[in-house]
């Protein structure tokens, strides 16, 4: 995986606020979780709109998504109570 600066820089080029359409400044993009090859990104634009982006990336060689991976994600989402503040508490 590239270093964190490169990843956030790429997000800055590609993402915009889905509410107001403004591009994000570098400091408005926060990596909130990284597991396996999945990133959860939180953005807060200058207008105060908060957005969560979930994306995954592949290594140079393709790795198949296994049934267990899907089941684990499904179970995690079923058990999530929706409290992002608790999840990302510093």
Q: Where residue 1 falls among pLDDT bands split at 50, 70, 90?
A: very low
- Residue whose C-alpha is closest to residue 45's, from 70, 6, 16, 67: 16
d(CA 67, CA 29): 31
Q: Is the pLDDT of residue 75 over 70?
A: yes
- Whether 49 and 20 have beta carbons less than 8 Å apart is answered as yes
CA–CA distance from 56 to each of 7, 25, 35, 40, 63 (Å)? 12, 22, 9, 9, 12
CATH number for the domain spanning 32: value is 2.20.25
How many structural domains are present in the chain?
Answer: 1
Mean of per-residue pLDDT scores for the chain: 82
The verdict on residue 85 lying in a domain is: no
Across residues 6-32, what is the average pLDDT? 88
Residue environment code for 34-53, b if the CB has 16+ CB neighbours within 10 A, otherwise e: eeeeebbbbbbbeeeeebee
Instruction: Beginning with the edge strand found earlier in the chain, give each strand of the sheet holding 50-56 in spatial order.
Output: 29-35, 38-44, 50-56
Position 87 in a domain = no
- In a domain, residue 70? The reply is no
Whether residue 77 lies inside any domain: the answer is no
**Per-residue confidence (pLDDT) for residue 47, from 0 to 100:** 92
Taking only the tens place, the pLDDT of each residue in 41-74 is: 899 999 999 999 888 876 666 667 777 888 888 8
Residue 74 forms part of a structural domain:
no
> Is residue 76, in this structure, part of any structural domain at all?
no
* Residue 18 included in any domain: yes
- 13/35: higher pLDDT: 13
**Domain that includes residue 13, residue range:** 4-63
**Position 27 in a domain:** yes
pLDDT at 20: 92
């Amino acid at each position: 995986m590239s270093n964190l600066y490169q990843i956030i820089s790429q997000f800055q080029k590609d993402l915009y606020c889905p509410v107001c359409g403004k591009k994000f400044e570098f400091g408005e993009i926060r990596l909130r979780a990284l597991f396996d090859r999945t990133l959860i990104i939180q953005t807060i634009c200058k207008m105060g709109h908060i957005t969560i982006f979930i994306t995954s990336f592949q290594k140079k060689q393709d790795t198949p998504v296994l049934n267990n991976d899907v089941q684990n994600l499904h179970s995690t989402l079923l058990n999530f109570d929706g409290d992002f503040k608790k999840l990302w508490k510093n």
